Amino acid sequence: MTAAFDDVDAVVHAAEGYLAAGDFWRAESVVGTALGAHPNQPRLLTLFARVKLGQGDHAAAANSAHAALSVAPDDEYAMRVYSHALEQQGRIPEALTVAWRTATTHPHSHLAHHTYARMLSDARRPVEAMTAVNEALRLNPEDVDALNLRGDIRVALGELDAAEADYRHALQLNPRDASVVHNLATLEHRRGRRWSAVRGFVVAERLDPRFGDVVRRNVGVVVSGVLRRSAWVVLLVTIAVVATYNIGEDGGTTVIPRIVAGVGAVLLVVMSIPVLRNVPGPMLTSILRQHKILVVRVLQVLAAVVLGAVTAVVGALTVPGVAAGFLLLSVPVVMIVGAVTDERVW
């Protein structure tokens, strides 16, 4: 893709294409060359600021956007880019001031109000952010990003039902918006709807692989919770198996501990089914690879299922009894280590 450097529209079009493709070097080359011929062109200066934002050079981005505003002080696009560059530098008060001035200078721009609302939300000022985002939605009621943002703000305010309504409205407008799907799933998890949340997280990653890391982290929290609860059942099963062996050695009746061992084994299988049903195999493998202590917990569950089932069916046997003794000793150790490290082991 080439562009005549004296044709600003052509340069902007070419650079926008490179930016969309993530090719910041080519975008910088095109815009930088054009700026050599038009050093005070505000559109080019603003576009160069965007390129620098993409490259992570926030100081250069702020300088370029500021230069654009020195030529066109009320240019809305340049103001929004400048406020974002300031924000990325950590200059939050200045960024908020510029965003506020953008919204007041351009009161009919839903993007100006949306930008100001997002910055207020990120600055943990949800009440003011709600006022700004409501204005953005008044100007553009079908803005999916604004609905998503208002859902986030309502979560911060504790208005969970209203937040869910905003997320679902946004999904009606764009069912493939990964950010909205992920935020709704996060809300579902917060409300205790674990498996609905997991299904949402999985869909979000499928829609946008960039959510992969955060999705695996969130799903890992759910899987870890299931395994932590399973540990108590594993403990019960191992005690029942050991009791069956000891009572059998003494010639006593083992009916009750065998029943406990069998019921516990079945309960562990039932607790594991939602994980296997809702978490894709590759994702589960990746989660276990990142948190080896969860692998240990899974092995403990599998061992307890086998030992419990064998004991329930056959009765007192030496090998299951001895194996259950070792498992009984390992479960509290793993529980303590998991609690201390929050499952972040290996």
pLDDT band for position 1 (cuts 50, 70, 90): very low
pLDDT at residue 344 in the model: 52
* Backbone phi and psi for residue 269, each to the nearest 5 degrees, phi listed first: -65, -45
pLDDT at residue 345 greater than cutoff 60: no
pLDDT, one tens digit per residue, over 167-177 is 999 999 999 99
Q: What's phi and psi for 224, nearest 5 deg?
A: -60, -40
Query: Positive or negative, the Cα torsion across 279, 285, 287, 293?
Result: positive
From the list 50, 58, 59, 57, the residue with the least C-alpha distance to 30 is 50
Residue 3 pLDDT > 80: no
Residue 81: pLDDT over 80 = yes
CB neighbours (10 Å) of residue 122? 14
Q: pTM of the predicted model, to two decimals?
A: 0.83
What does DSSP assign to residue 211?
G
Confidence of residue 346 (pLDDT cuts 50, 70, 90): very low
In this prediction, residues 100-118 reach a mean pLDDT of 97
Do residues 48 and 31 make contact, with C-beta atoms less than 8 angstroms apart? yes
Q: How many CA atoms lie less than 13 Å away from 211 in the CB half-sphere?
A: 21
pLDDT digits (tens, 9 = 90+) for 256-303: 999 999 999 999 999 999 999 999 999 999 999 888 889 999 999 999
